[in-house]
Amino acid sequence: AQSVAQPEDQVNVAEGNPLTVKCTYSVSGNPYLFWYVQYPNRGLQFLLKYITGDNLVKGSYGFEAEFNKSQTSFHLKKPSALVSDSALYFCAVRDMTDSWGKLQFGAGTQVVVTP
């Protein structure tokens, strides 16, 4: 069974400051890891993914995430947050051996960036 934990319901940050959204995961095999963002009453937009290789993954809108196998974490980061980054962020994991491609999502973290 696979699971994802996003320990913070909400993250508050001032515009221009670094933003970090935490994610830890559990899978029986090797993971594929994903970050998505959701704006109100919209679908999810893909930000980035870790498949293999370099532990630091760069994605859309200046976001990046660092895969840490020993800590089973995949935290999302942005060096300088914008007010427009305020949204709901989801981490998701897929077991590499799952042929059905099912994703397990975390509960989401609301990011609030204040001017």
Partner 1 sequence: DGGITQSPKYLFRKEGQNVTLSCEQNLNHDAMYWYRQDPGQGLRLIYYSQIVNDFQKGDIAEGYSVSREKKESFPLTVTSAQKNPTAFYLCASSSLVSNNEQFFGPGTRLTVL
- Contact residues toward partner 1 (CB under 8 A) are 4, 9, 32, 34, 36, 41-46, 49, 51, 90, 96, 99-103, 105-108
CA distance 81 to 72: 25
Q: How far is the CB of 104 from partner 1 (least distance, A)?
A: 8
- The first and second tokens of residue 48, run together, are 């980035």
User: Is 19 or 48 the residue whose CB approaches partner 1 more closely?
Assistant: 48
- Within 10 angstroms of residue 91's Cβ, the number of other Cβ atoms is 28
User: Is 13 or 23 the residue whose CB approaches partner 1 more closely?
Assistant: 23
CA distance 53 to 20: 22
User: Is 17 or 45 the residue whose CB approaches partner 1 more closely?
Assistant: 45
Q: Of 27, 26, 28, 23, nearest to 8 (Cα)?
A: 23
Q: How far is the CB of 99 from partner 1 (least distance, A)?
A: 7
Q: How far is the CB of 50 from partner 1 (least distance, A)?
A: 9
